[in-house]
Amino acid sequence: GGGTAVSAFTNGDFETWADGLPTNWKSASSASSATLTQSTDAHGGKYSVLVAGSTSSNKRLGYTEMTLAAGTYTMKFYAKAATAGGGAVAPGYVPIVSGKAGTYSYGSYVNDLSNSTWSEATYTFTLDAETTICLFASNSKNPGKDILVDDFTLTLNK
């Protein structure tokens, strides 16, 4: 069903960049671990973000911390492989307390990303109380290849 866009969440389309980074896509905590670069291979608009992969650890594209009211939320984004080597991505979030990441919550991985088509990733989660969180897209270390992410949205479900 429908939902209401969360006003605190902006630049999910990766159209606004400053100093080589997408505005708002940097967490103060360890939740944001990926190397990001601008790409013109976009799902919508002019730009997407390339999230560099690593075979040694998952690399997360993290959004700046937001304090959200209790409720059920749905995050959604589009991803594709940046190379013929494929890729895998998972949506998720982590509570941030005193600048430290808590327990990570992941949605389902979207595996076998193609470099010719965009795939949709969605994750619906419930916060039982007002919580400060960092939303992220996790670039899996298996296969650990570069991926593209675009058109990230967060809605409060009705």
31-67 confidence digits (pLDDT tens): 888 999 999 999 999 999 999 999 999 999 999 999 9
Which band of pLDDT confidence, cut at 50, 70 and 90, is reported for residue 158? Answer: confident
Q: What is the mean pLDDT of the chain?
A: 95
How does 27-66 read in b/e, with b if 16+ C-beta sit within 10 Å? bebebbbbebeebeebbeeebbbbbbbbeeebbbbbbbbb
Please give the angle made by the CA atoms of 64, 52 and 40, to the nearest 5 degrees.
85
Give the mean pLDDT of 85-94. 97
pLDDT in tens, 2-31: 789 999 999 999 999 999 999 999 876 778
